[in-house]
Amino acid sequence: MLKRLISSREALLVGAIAVLLVLISSRFPGFVAPSNLANVFNDTSPLILLAIGQMIVILTKCIDLSVAANLALTGMVVSMVNVVAPDLPIVVILVIATGLGTLLGMFNGILVWKLAIPPIVVTLGTMTIFRGFIFLLSDGKWVNSHEMSEGFKAFPRAEVLGLPVLSWIAIIAVILFSVVMARTTLGRAFYAAGGNPHAATYAGINVGRTQFWAFTISGALAGLTGYLWVSRFAVAYVDIAGGFELDVVAACVIGGVSIMGGIGTVVGALLGALFLGIIKNALPVVDISPFWQLAISGAAIIIAVALNAQANRKKGRIILKRAEHAT
């Protein structure tokens, strides 16, 4: 039991993060101060939210490359809504953001489910379509901080029990989806649909519909994050979060989510996102030449994935041996 716990992916990742923090603090001690770690967590919150959605999609053997574009489109729409109606309560903004994100996610889901188009093609297409929509909507113009209302910008920054609302939303999402994934029929269906689609079908699970719901959840989280993103950085334009979908997929892969589907946990996605977030936040302060930074981020991802692959392979062998002994 203990051995399993130690060799589990999550434990390995926690260890890797601890080593990373020690390395960073040897160069910049201030990084591990609690207030700074809280800042890093806050900065990583958008990545955590998207990684949870992405994990669910990847579990069902799909991939959602449109999350960053969904985020950008929703962010632009709520910013423009805010410019037109600055007095709209934040609750309404949150509903619009999540609702629009959900619709965009459903659009992906419908194409995958009903038209059976490969998810990578669908989301590659919708990614471009969503970015194009932002262009059409905004005419390529920025929505700037002085055009946004104070309340709109203050919400993710507001402190509750010492942490900004942005961080709390990530924490709540982690708890909520941990429960959903472990304790609900839909949650288990995600694992079944990706782990063994044929068996899942025989068990009465509609694989297509399960994938549809995965995309819907991913879209909803991306939409919510869209509002949080534009209000945090107080600017909305066509290219916001450009290339962020790759960070999100990387966070999942680092977090031990199998790209083949069926394997992955919310905690894994959380840790994967934190690992990336720590690297991103540490690079500016550890005084490493910017010319090296990209190479270092990339190397960290490959090392994490290599370790991952290694761990998975061992697991497979053990199962075979047991089967051998049993017969």
Contact residues for another protein (CB under 8 A)? 28, 30-31, 36, 39, 43, 65, 124, 127-128, 131-132, 135, 138-142, 144-147, 157, 229, 233-235, 237-242, 244, 280-281, 283-285, 287, 290-291
Residue 259's closest CA among 117, 53, 61, 66?
A: 61
Rounded to 5 degrees, what angle do the CA atoms 255, 259, 262 make?
90
Q: Which is nearer to another protein, 191 or 244 (CB)?
A: 244
For another protein, the closer of residues 47 and 266 by Cβ is: 47
Exposed, middle or buried: residue 149 (CB in 10 Å: 0-12, 13-18, 19+)? middle
Residue 310 Cβ vs another protein, minimum distance, rounded to whole Å? 28
CB of residue 135 to another protein, shortest distance in Å: 6
State which residue, 57 or 240, has the beta carbon closest to another protein. 240
Closer CB to another protein, 31 or 215, in the complex: 31
Q: How far is the CB of 45 from another protein (least distance, A)?
A: 12
CB of 318 to another protein, least distance (A): 38
3-class secondary structure, 327: coil
H helical segments located in the chain: 2-7, 9-27, 34-59, 67-84, 90-114, 119-138, 150-154, 165-183, 185-195, 197-202, 207-233, 244-254, 266-282, 290-326
Tokens of 101: 């994100």
In this structure, are residues 70 and 244 in contact, taking their beta carbons and an 8 Å threshold?
Answer: no
Q: Judging by beta carbons within 10 Å of its beta carbon (0-12, 13-18, 19+), is residue 230 exposed, middle or buried?
A: buried
267 touches 178 (CB < 8 A): yes
DSSP one-letter code for 203: T
Residue 15 vs 284, nearer CB to another protein: 284
Give min distance, CB of 43 to another protein, in A: 7
* Nearer Cβ to another protein (163/186): 163
Amino acid 2 reads: L
Q: Among residues 210 and 281, whose Cβ is nearest to another protein?
A: 281
Closest approach, Cβ 72 to another protein, in A, equals 11
> What Rg value do the Cα atoms of the chain yield, rounded?
20
Query: Least distance from C-beta 40 to another protein, angstroms?
Result: 10
